[in-house]
Every structure is written in C-alpha cells, then in structure tokens.
Structure 1
Amino acid sequence: MKPQRLPLKQRHGGVIRRLRADGAGEDLIDFSASMNPYPPSIDWKPELCDILDYPDDTYIELKEAIGSAFSRDPSEIAVGNGSIELIRIYAQVFLSPGSGALIESPTFGEYAQSVLLAGGKLVKEPEDATVRYLCNPNNPTGKLLQREDVRSILHDCKEAGSRLFLDEAFIDLADPDESMSDHRDSDLFILRSLTKAFSVPGIRFGFGFSDPETIEAIETARPPWTVNRYAETYAIEALRHLPDLERSRRLIAEERAFLSGSIRSLGLFCHPSSVNYLLVDTGRDAGELQHALLKAGVLVRDCTSFGLPQSIRIAVRRHEENTVLIEALSACMH
C-alpha cells in the first residue's frame, strides 16, 4: 500500500550547514535565516543539564517561568518542540477534513501546509473559515500590525464564528508593546518563540497562550516529552533576559535603516519593515540572484516559495556583514 498523497514539503531558509558540508565554505554569511544579530548573553551551561531522566511532561517548571514572564497561568500555556510543532498540532486539533482556513499571502508557508495535512482546505472568504491565520510581524514582508488592528481582526473572526491563530514569533525583535500575549479569549491562540530573539535555531522550543480548554486539547495531542531538557533549561534562563532585547531592537533598527537605504540606492524596491529582515523586489529571477550571491559568499532567502519569484528576503546582520552583502548585491545587479 502506498502512502496517501501529501502536499509538497515546504522550503525554508536555514540551510547553511548543508551548503557548508557541500563545500560552500566556512566564510559563507547566512542572510537567509532571520536571527537576532545582537542576542543577549545567556549564562547557560548545557554540560550541567540532567539528561538521565525523562523531562517532566507537564513542564510545570517551564510553564511557571513563562507565566511569570508574561503574567499567564500555567494552564494557559502550551509548549512544543519549536513553534512548528504547535502550528501542526493546532491544525490537527481545530481543523477537521473539509474545514476551511483563511491565510492571506504572502506569509509563512507552514500554516497552509498544516491545514492541508489536517485535511482542511484554503478559503478566500472569512465566513468560510474555521480558523484564520495571522503572522505579526508578517514573514516575509516585515509588516507589523498594531495591537488594535489585531483586536479588530479577532472581533471579525468571532463575528464569523471562526478562531484566530496569531503567530508572534518575531514580535520581540519588532515591538513587544503590540503583542496580544496578555489578551485572553477562547477564540485566540498566540504563538511565541525564543528562536529568533535569542538566535538559537538549534534549540527547538516554542510556546503559546490560550484558554485552559484549548491548551488542554493541544497538550493532549502533543506527543509526550517533545521539549528536551536542553531546550527546557535554556528557555527558563533566557526568559529572565527578555528585557535585554531592548538593546537588540535598537541596534537592529539602526542596521535595518542602513540596509534598506543602501538597497534602495541600488534601484531595488525594499518593503518597509519593523523587524530584523527585509523583503526586496529585485526585478529578476530570485533563484538566479540567490545563486550569484552564493558565489560571492552571501546566502539570501529566495522567496519563490512565498509566491514571490522575483523577491529575496535578507536578514539584518551586524554592520560589517551588511556591508559585505551590499557590495555583493551591487556587483550582481550590474
């Protein structure tokens, strides 16, 4: 018996290890994965991590640490092996075969992937949706909606009888004052991540907020022990450093202004962004440009998988690296 027909696997950035293994060189600068270039220093010693026992699958210590940082009760918190796991599980729990999901493009492809894997379908009208997905700030555009705008979207969802899945994975690097993390509503699920803000993509950890009934359903569907002890102990320590991200946001804003101005001076359209990446319309095949930049020692994100075949996404990195990018981009465009 053959496996059932599944949607094509999503393409992502963050392929630097594979490229280096294939001979791209250790000096290759990765602009394809949007990490904090100025992460706080975390006093975490993995060699002291106790891995001889299973993690506590209730993750009560971890949830209490999250709850303390965000003023939420542990019963309102779900955890997972990266935010991707929670995206997948949420779809499994709230979408039945044939139910609709509203996803505005361009945005993160894993929402649609999770909907289709759960047997759902993509719809264009709010009244046809069981779940509406919203990424704020949006990936790949970098657009940040204000809190009141999100509240208005949630109101529309409730009027239509649907739920809102709100992904705030990048909001700590944009403006946390616009977060909905303190908003309690049974029709709202808020997804958060430490990966981007603390620049630790190798530690797979995500978490989310909703009402206790929603959280219980997600935790029931989540496979046991998916958050390992390394991720758990790192997260508990990192949460104490959330205030340190103010410095990161300030420095990112400075470099973002430098990058966007430099890109526009090359005659390219750079979308306004509130976060640590820029969407650039290049006017040429993004895959070809990505390949040319790779030869110059720079890896950018080809946005063809977002439905933008002439656009690239560029992470904001430190100034000396950003200068290398601009020089390489200038050479490739002329």
Structure 2
Amino acid sequence: MKKKNIAIIMGGYSSEYNISIKSGNVVFKHLDAEKYNTFRLVITKEKWVYLDEAENEYPVDKSDFSIAPAGAKIHFDCVFNAIHGTPGEDGLMQAYFELLGIPQTSCNHYQAALTFNKRDLLSTLKPHGIKCAASYLLDLGDAIDENAIVKRVGLPCFVKANKAGSSYGISKVYKKEDLHEAIKKAFEEDDEIIIETFLDGVEVSVGVITYNGQVTVLPITEIVSENDFFDFAAKYEGKSQEITPARISKQKELKVMAIAKKVYELLKLNGFSRSEYIFVDDEPYLLEVNTTPGLTEESILPKQANEAGISLTELFESSIEEVLKQ
C-alpha cells in the first residue's frame, strides 16, 4: 500500500509557539516511517515553511498547501494539527483545510473557535446543565469597576485572557487593589478577559478522544500544584504533581467522566480534547476545554493515554486513521 503523506503543523502565532514546536516534534518522532511519509511544517506570522531533517527551510505554497523541496510538488493526504493557540486551535487553520478539502486531525473550525473562546464556550454549555464558576467579562477599553467585579465574583478570583492557553495571562487575585494589574496582564494576551470566582477543591484534567472509532474517556489526572494555582511553571517547569489516575472516589470519577463525555458529544468534537474541572463538594465545575492539547512527553494527555495502555505511536496514528476513514 502506498504510504500517505502526513504534514505535521506546529508553531503558530501565540505565546504557545515553543510548546507547539515540542509537541510537533514528538508527533514526528513517534509516527511510523514504514506507514507514513512525515513532514514538519512550521507556521508563523512571517512564513510557512517545511523543515527537512537538516533543518533546511522550504516555503509552503498557501494556494494548495503543498511543498516542492526537490522541484516536484508534494501534496498531503492528512494534516496532523499540533498548533496550540492561534491559528491552530481557534478554527483558522481548520477552516483553511476545510476549504482546500484536506483532512486534519483536530475538530472542525466552528467547534475550534467556540472552545477557544472561554466565554462563549461556557455560555453554550450552561443551558445543558454543565456547572461553571460565576464570571465577570471585560473587553479592552471597558471601564474597570473593581467594586462591581468583587460583588459579582468575590475574592480571591482568577483573571484570565479569554482566548489563550498554557495559563498565559492568568492571575489569582486576593485583594481588590491588585485587580487592575492583573487585568492589564491579561489584556497583554487578548482583548477580551474573563474574571471568575475562585473554586476551592480538587482539580482534575480529563482527556476525551476518538480512538478506534469510539469516543473514549482516558484515565483522569489530578492536578496538585506547588504554586498558588496550576500556572505556566506548574504545567511546564515541573512545579506540580500530575497524578494519574486521580485520587478521587469512584463516584466522583464516574461523574466527571460522564460530564466530560457529554461535553465532547454536545460540542460534536472529534480528535483529541482535554477538559479541566474543579470539584466543589461532589460536583465538577468546568473550567475550559482544549482541542489541541499538549503532546510532549511531559503533557497530560499522553500520560493519560499511557495509563490506558495506549502508546504515543498508537495515539497519534489512530488520530490520523480516524480522519482518513472519513
């Protein structure tokens, strides 16, 4: 059987660029060269390029998403999306590939745009009984009324960029007078922010994927941060414990698994997803949904897959085969 040409896209336009490069290289490393011709494509605002094994760069023809490193054009049977943040997680690349008719491994453009926008996502899910923290919304240029914010969400609270990942632009605020600086920090990442009530409880991360044709909930990870919350350092610099399987009761495990699967199916997702919840008493409250989660060896979803007996090669290849079947 002729080997399929697989483009692994990585990089992107956001603060998550370096993490995406790591994810993309892990995918490249683990895909079976006997089954696929794999190509690393780095997407930045300045250029779209193919990187060969010697790190030589060749331009991507954006008119049909092809490359020609040796003169003859190479077209792709499938795109493996490893871009965290814009334009790979917010629907832009998905829409581009849909227009070109090229299969890609993440969800469709509408679902990507919706899940990337925390405010819109939570508004969509609340009518379906999905519990979320109380929130206060601000757009760049809005008047900042600290008293109204505190009245709505209380203290401490979290100030977050609305459309950003990897905990960029997030602050935990204990005092009203610190709100202004936290809001300024969040606006450095996005022109929309969301301020949420602090939920005190056990935080868990739940991976839901389509694997061998079935919606599959992976073993749950408990997040125990050495820092004040699960910030960038906790996620990527080892300042947290990520315990898989989570140390929660069977009742809590079944409840959050059912909710995570419900969210995946309500949103009509496919490919990989990872959603974060905090238990308040026995009830899981949704924080966010990621549709291109980290895929490095240190990332949560690959660890969950490993706990389920799924190797990285099996995980990545299943994602490609699911798309090619469609």
Fold in common (TM above 0.5): no
- Higher RCO (C-alpha 8 Å, min separation 6): 1
Which one has a larger percent helix, Structure 1 or Structure 2?
1
Which one has a larger percent strand, Structure 1 or Structure 2?
2
In the superposition, the TM-score normalised over structure 2's length comes to 0.27
